[in-house]
């Protein structure tokens, strides 16, 4: 007589809301770029004055977007990775 296992192996259980790594990575990337958008709309400019009276003005969203690009790359690399054990 053969037995049928009642539980699925842990590596094949992908229906769990907490274990959906793709979804959490997508939400994290969306939150990163939403913060860049809000920083571009409501954030201050970086202003540099010189003694001669000239100044330069750069939107702070450029600096935020630089670090958001690095964060997106890291989150996507970890979150969308496919392993043999998952």
pLDDT tens per residue across span 25-83: 999 999 999 999 999 999 999 999 999 989 999 999 999 999 999 999 999 999 888 76
Rama region for 13: left / alpha / beta (φ>0; ψ in -120 to 50; rest): beta
Please report, for residues 1, 46, 59, 62, the alpha-carbon distance to residue 54 in angstroms, rounded to integers and kept in the order given. 89, 14, 17, 21
Instruction: Provide the whole-model pTM.
Output: 0.69
Other CB atoms within 10 A of residue 47 CB: 9
Q: Which two tokens stand for residue 18?
A: 């907490």
pLDDT tens per residue across span 24-35: 999 999 999 999
Give the span between the Cα atoms of 83 and 2, in whole angstroms.
32
Burial class (CB in 10 A: 0-12, 13-18, 19+), 59: middle
Q: Which residue has the higher pLDDT, 10 or 41?
A: 41
């Amino acid at each position: 007589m053969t037995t049928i296992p009642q539980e699925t192996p842990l590596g094949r259980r992908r229906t769990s809301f907490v274990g959906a790594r793709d979804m959490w990575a997508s939400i994290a990337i969306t939150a990163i770029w939403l913060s860049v958008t809000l920083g571009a709309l409501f954030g201050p400019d970086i202003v540099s004055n010189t003694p001669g009276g000239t100044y330069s003005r750069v939107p702070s969203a450029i600096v935020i977007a630089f670090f958001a690009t690095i964060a997106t790359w890291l989150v996507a690399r970890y979150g969308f990775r496919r392993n043999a054990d998952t």
